[in-house]
Amino acid sequence: MSTTDHKTIGLVRHGETDWNIERRMQGQENIPLNEQGQRQSRELGQLIATMDWTWDAIVSSPLQRALDTAQAINDFIGPKEIVILNQFMERDFGQASGLTRDEAKSRFPDGLIPDIENPEDLMSRIVDGLKYLFDRISGNHILLVTHGEVLRTIYKLIGQTHKVSQKPGNASIDVITLHLAQLEK
């Protein structure tokens, strides 16, 4: 059990994929980084290595684009074990997965996408993952490598509503302080 009521978390979005360029809804498909995404991830690793914190742990979504980004970062700050948690997988976009945003709007004009993961289930899954960070990950400085919808959900959870509508850039980092009480709402 953690001895602290807060953790510093580096929220990292994975590097670029071809589907990002095509504006496809990636969801839980295992899309790899493209060449640009690989370069971005290495550059991010170099940047993170210059930050004032010693990162105690790296946690990643199990999807390849996030894992490859985590490994690139680890090459610069590691070696550390990369803890893989399914709770930080991208949202399941159901039958819209693989479609461009325009294709999804055309196919589902009412916005009702069959089999899409609802926001409440996504939030619950992410809160479970964040609680795991407090309960099972030692250290107070954790890098979390994940996906855009997961990041927006975390921002909503912690009350940074100004960031909910913004799309985090590929291979970006945003450092937050997360308090255990924020997960008990």
| Cα 119 → chain centroid | 15
Rounded-to-integer distance, Cα 46 and Cα 69, Å: 12
E strands in the chain: 6-13, 57-60, 82-84, 141-146, 173-179
For 61, list phi and psi in degrees, rounded to 5.
Answer: -60, 150
Catalytic residue among 16, 90, 117, 149: 90
- Active-site residue identified among 14, 16, 117, 147: 14
Residues facing residue 60 across a β-bridge: 84, 145
179 flagged as catalytic:
no
Greatest alpha-carbon pair distance for the chain in Å reads 51
Is 90 annotated as catalytic?
yes
Q: 142 CB contacts (<8 Å, ≥6 apart)?
A: 7, 8, 9, 10, 55, 56, 57, 58, 59, 133
What's the DSSP call for residue 89?
S
Catalytic residue IDs: 14, 90
